[in-house]
Amino acid sequence: MKSTNRKSPPAADAPVASEADVMKMLDLLKGSTSVELKLTLPDTNIRPAIQRLGFDPVEAEPRQCYFFDTKDLDLQRAGLVVRARRIQGGAGDSAIKLRPVDPAAVDPELRRSPAFKIELDAMPGGHVCSASFKGVCSGEDVRSVAEGSALLSTLFSKDQRAFFAEHAPEGIDLDSLVPLGPTFLLRVKEQPKKYDRRVTVELWLYPDGSRIFEISTKAQPREAFQAAAEFRAFIKSCGIPIVAVDSMKTRTALEYFSKEPQDA
């Protein structure tokens, strides 16, 4: 496989949310079940950020993340994400996500499932609300699907498959999708000494040598704005710049692997 030196997009000063953005977020929060606050760093800031956060990289949990789509990324254009992960120790999970969504338009029956959630992701420069249906499988199940010895649909529950069928473009079913990946990543989840919430850091490593580093924490919708202020203060106390970086983990993986031969 040919290696490239893809550079991270230039960092920009994080814009202040406009009044219209704040009002939109308030509206979305009313129907959300959780909030995730995220910060993505430019490649050049990754090493100092790891040092300043004080997390032990030796404790990082390795994972493999597979996405599934058509060769032309029809699901991506429809706002649908199909994902499965292999987790250290033999565990695994699956998810079908739809974004963006209007929480008010979501079927109330879906909300009754503990595997279904509506989450508002907020990051410097923007926000997006997504609905996701999660499932549990084994790492070996995911591997079998990726190697072609099992059908993709076997990784998903009946409710997950119904959610996919409702939102997928016409004529596309789960078992017609191709595996894109895996992307290797390292994940650490800890509670810093000087911060009251657990913080997750993920380092996504792409085959061309590029990386995406994300810092995140979660909160309840009712405390979203206070949590955002506290998270911002924590990040600043670590000497980490708060910038708007256009690097989405899912999109980067889909676009990379859709252009690469699967035997590379």
186-235 confidence digits (pLDDT tens): 999 999 988 999 999 999 999 888 899 999 999 999 999 999 999 999 99
- What span, in angstroms and rounded, lies between the C-alpha atoms of 13 and 202? 22
Give the pLDDT score at 72: 95
Q: Compute the Cα dihedral for 140, 146, 150, 156 and give only its sign.
A: positive
Residue type, 56: D
pLDDT digits (tens, 9 = 90+) for 169-192: 999 999 999 999 999 999 999 999
- Per CATH, domain 18-258 is 2.40.320.10: yes
Q: How far is CA 126 from the centre of its chain?
A: 15
Max CA distance (Å), the chain:
52
Residues 6+ apart with CB under 8 A from 16: none
What number of other Cβ atoms are within 10 A of residue 239's Cβ? 10
Q: 127 has which bridge partners?
A: 122
Angle at 249 between CA 34 and CA 204, to 5 degrees: 110
Q: Classify each residue of 59-69 as buried b or exposed e, where b means 16 or more C-beta atoms within 10 Å of its C-beta.
A: ebeebbbbbbb
Q: Tell me how far apart the alpha carbons of residues 72 and 247 are, in angstroms, rounded to a whole number.
A: 20
Q: What is the pLDDT of residues 73-130, one digit of tens each?
A: 999 999 999 999 999 999 999 999 999 999 999 999 999 999 999 999 999 988 999 9
Q: Which band of pLDDT confidence, cut at 50, 70 and 90, is reported for residue 261?
A: low
pLDDT at 43 over 90: no
Residue 75 per-residue DSSP state: H
Please list the residues that pair with 124 across neighbouring strands.
none
% of the chain at pLDDT higher than 90 = 74
Tokens of 119: 């989450």
Q: Which two tokens stand for residue 159?
A: 């409710």
Q: How far apart are CA 110 and CA 114, in angstroms?
A: 9
pLDDT at 264: 44
Say what the pLDDT of residue 235 is.
95
pLDDT at 13 over 60: no
